Amino acid sequence: MSAQTTPPAYRTAPWSKAIGLLIFTSRWLQAPLYLGLIVAQGIYVWVFLKELWHLLEGVFNLEHALTEAQIMLVVLGLIDVVMIANLLIMVIIGGYETFVSRIKVDGHPDQPEWLSHVNANVLKVKLAMAIIGISSIHLLKTFIGVGAITEQGAVENGEKYTSTGVMWQVIIHCVFILSALALAWIDRMSYHRAHAGETHDGVPVPIAGAEHGTVAAASPAPQEHAAAPPRH
């Protein structure tokens, strides 16, 4: 039996190492982008506080009090701001963790549940779900604002709604849902192609029976057949 031969080791040129290190370090160019999104997060906090103050003024104004429908529209606007802020948080934390550098928060009591297994596919699915939630809020605001819409359209709070515009809003919302389902389906297909025990996008594929604390028992060795009695 011939001895196994080890493949020859090739030395990497210094200039090749330098170029690879430069390309790897270039990921830090994205850090200012995520810092800019933090500034945008602060702007949304200011917008939320302004809308909340206008809501309080409208509720306690005895002369021109807001109606129930108007209050609902303002509250939906506040929820819309919160969901966009949640989307920003997922992009800032998840994007920085995936494409720039690890965030050392292991064991922190406030660590997000999804941060431990975040990757590009998980981040895309979560972003798609957040966009669907924001689109749902806008669609609900439209349904409340238009009321009984006619063929000529309806005007509510200075905005004109038409049946064609509402129809396109519903179509775009359905496209968002189909896109999220397609992303989740693609991720599920690639996950099923991985073997048990392997790591798929940073997440280990579970082994059958491991979640119940059991290990599949090996099949018993075949017993030897008893010797046939000698023939007379």
Share of the chain above pLDDT 70, in %: 66
Does 140 score more than 70 pLDDT? yes
pTM: 0.63
The region of weakest confidence among 45-54, 60-69, 73-82 is 60-69
* pLDDT value for 217: 44
DSSP letter assigned to residue 198: -
The answer for residues whose C-beta is within 8 angstroms of residue 133's C-beta and 6 or more apart is: 83
Phi-psi region of 10 (alpha: psi -120 to 50; beta: other; left: phi over 0): beta
> Which of 203, 178, 177 has the alpha carbon at shortest distance from 192?
203
Does 97 score more than 60 pLDDT? yes
- Decide: 182 and 193 in contact? Cβ < 8 Å: no
Helices (H), 147-195: 163-192
The answer for residues whose C-beta is within 8 angstroms of residue 185's C-beta and 6 or more apart is: none
pLDDT digits (tens, 9 = 90+) for 23-60: 988 989 999 999 999 999 999 999 999 999 988 888 88
CA 211, 125, 113, 88: dihedral to nearest 10 degrees?
Answer: 180
pLDDT digits (tens, 9 = 90+) for 146-187: 765 666 656 665 566 777 778 888 899 999 999 888 888 887
Radius of gyration for the chain, computed over Cα atoms and rounded to the nearest angstrom: 29
